[in-house]
Amino acid sequence: MCAAATSVPRALPATIDFHHASQDSVVRIAGLYAVTPDVDDTALLVAKVTAAISGGATMVQYRHKSAAASRKLEQARALAAACSGRAIFIVNDDAALARAVVADGVHVGEDDGAVTQARVIVGADRIVGVSCYNELARARRLAAEGADYLAFGSFYPSSVKPLARRAAPSLLHDARSLRLPLVAIGGITAANAGALVHAGADAVAVISELFDHDEPAAVTRAAAAIASIFQSQRPPSGSP
């Protein structure tokens, strides 16, 4: 396992700690959650992800919608190694790929199968995160099915998903009652992330604001600008 079943060996923002039903180890979901863009150059992708981790990203999700299976396997393996001991590593959509590269977990959307199905594939000691869009009822149902974190959004206009369903920040406050870590996504920048953290987000998932930069040093600076927000704006842990 890359990093998740025990605490990541670096300071993380205060948030909800929770236990998998099948084990005693603690997983912590908090802070800047870097989601990769569609980049075919594996070396460049790893360099940018490493730069984001250096800037404070505590989680990384590998997401590449258009790559061939062989490219996805190559890149996921490389990112799993880059994240090992430094950040929690999640694979988007593909539980079998997450298992193959010994990722810390998988993130599934509404078309990617049930939480229980993903859990069987990746293993009981791995993370299964879910997209809840703008639906509190869906979040409630998936929490009951055993999801480990709940992702909501898009909160702001997104260049990655311009037609994504929009969510209101108040949804985060309402979802605190589910007692699971909450991830906000969609058009998030250093300028607007603070409002979502204040509303109840434990983590913010970011693509463009991090990875639209050409130079890794610029990725690090962008990551640091968002990560620093978590040092000053945190709702009480687990508060509804």
How many distinct helices (H) and strands (E) make up the chain? 9, 10
CB 127 within 8 A of CB 27: yes
**Whole-model pTM?**
0.87
Query: What does DSSP assign to residue 76?
Result: H
Cβ distance 156 to 187 under 8 Å? Answer: yes
CA distance 199 to 143: 20
Pairing of strands 182-185, 105-108: unpaired
Which pLDDT tens digits describe the chain residue by residue (240 residues)?
Answer: 454 433 333 333 333 343 343 333 345 899 999 999 999 999 999 999 999 999 999 999 999 999 999 999 999 999 999 999 999 999 999 999 999 999 999 999 998 889 999 999 999 999 999 999 999 999 999 999 999 999 999 999 887 777 778 899 999 999 999 999 999 999 999 999 999 999 999 999 999 999 999 999 999 999 999 999 998 655 444 444
When computed from its CA atoms, the radius of gyration of the chain, rounded to whole angstroms, is 16
